[in-house]
Amino acid sequence: MILVAGGTGTLGRRLVERLAVAGGGVRVLSRTPGAVAFASATVEVVAGDVRDRAAVERAMVGVTTVVSAMHGFLGTGDSGPRGIDAEGNAILVEAAVAAGVEHFVLVSVQGASPDSPMELARMKFVAEQNLRASPLAWTIVRPTAFMETWGHIVGDPLVRTGKTLIFGRGTNPINFVSATDVARLIELAINDPALRGEAIDFGGPQDLTLTGLADVVGRVAGREVKKRHIPLVVMRASSLALRPIKPALSRQIRAGVVMDTVDLTFGATAVRERFNSIPVTTFENVVRAEIVPGVVIAPIVEEAARR
Instruction: Specify whether the CB–CB gap between 220 and 284 falls below 8 A.
Output: yes
- Please name the amino acid found at residue 87: E
What is the pLDDT, as a whole number, of residue 80? Answer: 83
Computed from CA positions of residues 124, 130, 133, 137, in that sequence, does the dihedral angle turn out positive or negative?
Answer: negative
What is the pLDDT, as a whole number, of residue 303? Answer: 30
User: CA-CA distance, 204 to 219, in Å (whole number)?
Assistant: 20
Once rounded to an integer, what is the mean pLDDT over residues 173-179? 98
pLDDT single digits (tens) 177-201 = 999 999 999 999 999 999 999 999 9
The alpha carbon of residue 166 and the mean position of all alpha carbons in its chain are separated, in whole angstroms, by 21
User: What are the residues facing 28 on neighbouring strands?
Assistant: 4, 45
- Residue 304, pLDDT > 90, answer no
pLDDT single digits (tens) 129-166 = 999 999 999 999 999 999 999 999 999 999 999 999 99
pLDDT single digits (tens) 201-210 = 999 999 999 9
Instruction: Give the mean pLDDT of the chain.
Output: 91
Once rounded to an integer, what is the mean pLDDT over residues 245-262? 90
Q: Which of 87-101, 209-223, 242-256, 263-277 bottoms out in mean pLDDT, i.e. has the lowest?
A: 242-256
Share of the chain above pLDDT 70, in %: 94
What is the pLDDT, as a whole number, of residue 295? Answer: 46
User: CA-CA distance, 180 to 204, in Å (whole number)?
Assistant: 11
What is the pLDDT, as a whole number, of residue 294? Answer: 54
Which phi and psi (to 5°) does residue 25 adopt? Answer: -85, 140
3-class DSSP string for 81-93 = HHHHHHHHHHHHH
Share of the chain above pLDDT 90, in %: 79
40 or 285, which is more confident: 285
What is the pLDDT, as a whole number, of residue 302? Answer: 32
46 or 38, which is more confident: 46
Once rounded to an integer, what is the mean pLDDT over residues 262-280? 97
- Residue 171, pLDDT > 80, answer yes
User: Minimal CA–CA distance to 290: which of 205, 220, 208, 226?
Assistant: 220
pLDDT single digits (tens) 68-117 = 999 887 666 677 889 899 999 999 999 999 999 999 999 999 999 999 99
Instruction: Specify whether the CB–CB gap between 73 and 83 falls below 8 A.
Output: no
What is the pLDDT, as a whole number, of residue 249? Answer: 85
Once rounded to an integer, what is the mean pLDDT over residues 288-295? 79
